[in-house]
Amino acid sequence: MFTTLKIDIKKGVTSWQLDVLEKFIMRKNGEQNVIKILTEKFGGNSNLATIVERASKPTKTSVLQKKQFAALADKNIRPENFMSAVFGKVPASATNEQKTIAAKFQAFYSSL
């Protein structure tokens, strides 16, 4: 998948690559498989969440983030346990970036 999309995971993901990846996911209709593959390739949910956040527009939840959030919600992760389940931290010790991701998850979860 990464070769097909010409994404070098060692160099990171840029916003244009995120757009290409989102289109690929929608076209292939394999959201859960793609999220599972990305989670494994990027070293877990916390790394994937951080990478996707950095490649996303600051005020918007990307399609890929929504897919990851849906997969996390399916694993019974809720806003109350998001920080510990995904980042292994308590909210007080989280970085601003992690807090932003958690806030996006909270908004997503509230819309379910």
> So what's the pLDDT on residue 15?
53
> So what's the pLDDT on residue 1?
46
Q: How far is 28 from 52, CA to CA, in rounded Å?
A: 19
Per-residue pLDDT tens over the stretch 37-56: 788 888 899 998 998 898 88
CA atoms within 13 A on the CB side of 9: 15
Considering 50-54, 64-68, 71-75, the range whose residues carry the highest mean pLDDT is: 71-75
Spatial neighbors of 25 by CB under 8 A, at least 6 apart, are: 31, 34, 63, 64, 67
State the average pLDDT over residues 48-69. 86
Task: Using DSSP, state whether 19 is helix, strand or coil.
Answer: helix
> So what's the pLDDT on residue 39?
87
Per-residue pLDDT tens over the stretch 8-37: 555 555 555 566 666 666 665 555 577 887
Q: What percent of the chain has pLDDT over 70?
A: 71
